[in-house]
Amino acid sequence: MPAADRLVILDRDGVINRDSDDYVKSLEEWIPYPDAVEAIARLHRAGWTVAVATNQSGIARGYYGVEVLEAMHGRLRDLVREAGGEIAHIAHCPHGPGDDCDCRKPLPGLLEEIRQVLSLDNLEGSWMVGDSLRDLQAGEPMGCRPVLVRTGKGRRTEEKGEGLQGAMVFDDLAAFVDWLLAREEKGQAAQ
Known catalytic residues are 11, 13
Please tell me which residue, 108 or 190, carries the higher pLDDT value.
108
pLDDT digits (tens, 9 = 90+) for 122-162: 999 999 999 999 999 999 999 999 999 999 999 999 999 88
Determine the pLDDT at residue 16.
Answer: 98
Is residue 190 scored above 60 in pLDDT?
no
pTM of this prediction?
Answer: 0.96
As a whole number, mean pLDDT of residues 36-45 equals 98
Average pLDDT value over all residues in the chain: 95
Is residue 55 scored above 70 in pLDDT?
yes
Write phi, then psi, for 18 (nearest 5 degrees): -60, 140
Cα distance between residue 59 and residue 55, in whole Å: 10
Which amino acid is present at 80? Answer: V
Element (H, E) at 175: helix 173-189
Which of 48, 51, 57, 43 has the alpha carbon at shortest distance from 12? 51
As a whole number, mean pLDDT of residues 88-110 equals 96
